[in-house]
Amino acid sequence: MLNKSNLITTTVTVGTAPQCVATEENYVWVANSSSANVTRIKKSDLTTTTIAVGTNPEGIAVDANYVWVANNGSDNVTRIKKSDLTTTTIAAGSGPFGVAVEETYCWVANNGSNNVTRILKSDLSKTTIAVGTNPFGVAVDETCVWVANVSSNNVTRILKSDLTTSAIAAGTYPVGISVDATYIWV
């Protein structure tokens, strides 16, 4: 943890091979790839709680009620209920890596099967959308889902209204992706 105002660092022990981090108002969530778990860090006092998930968690995203974890080694997603830390396992494509959430859906980039799994949060039903080769990162805005495809050297835009896709050229080996009000950052 790095304090932005005074640049002082504090070390918090988590699991082995922490892969990614998601934050919210009261907690920080860390996916620990080699430990097959997630560490929840309470911001106010840095106490930690460990939650078991699938093998090789690589992606993590947080919404109002849940934490969503893409488990690359077990081809599934773990949904952690924030209120009591209970978990639900949802099958995904091969090698899920990136995960993004919005009000209605959870979107998972499946690196090994060249697709995205859209999970309806209300009943966990799924739809699969083909994208480029080796998708890693995924980001969502009000109208689109954006997927960074490593081996295709492109980004797939998925229109949320009808799930149509289009490919947009990107630089070599695009892995991470983020979206703001104006731009897609790859």
**Strand 126-130 relative to strand 115-120: parallel, antiparallel, unpaired?**
antiparallel
Contact present, 149 and 174 (Cβ < 8 Å): yes
- Dist. CA 59–CA 37, nearest whole Å: 12
- Dist. CA 171–CA 99, nearest whole Å: 21
Q: What is the pTM of this model?
A: 0.94
Task: Give the C-alpha distances (Å, rounded to integers) separating 104 from 63, 117, 125, 163.
Answer: 10, 13, 12, 14
Predicted local distance difference test score (pLDDT) of residue 1: 65
Predicted local distance difference test score (pLDDT) of residue 2: 62
Q: In whole numbers, what is the pLDDT of the chain averaged over residues?
A: 95
Over residues 56-82, the pLDDT tens digits come to 999 999 999 999 999 999 999 999 999
**Contact partners, residue 186, CB within 8 Å, separation at least 6:** 137, 148, 155, 170, 171, 174, 176, 177
**Model confidence at 7: pLDDT above 90:** no
Over residues 91-120, the pLDDT tens digits come to 999 999 999 999 999 999 999 999 999 999
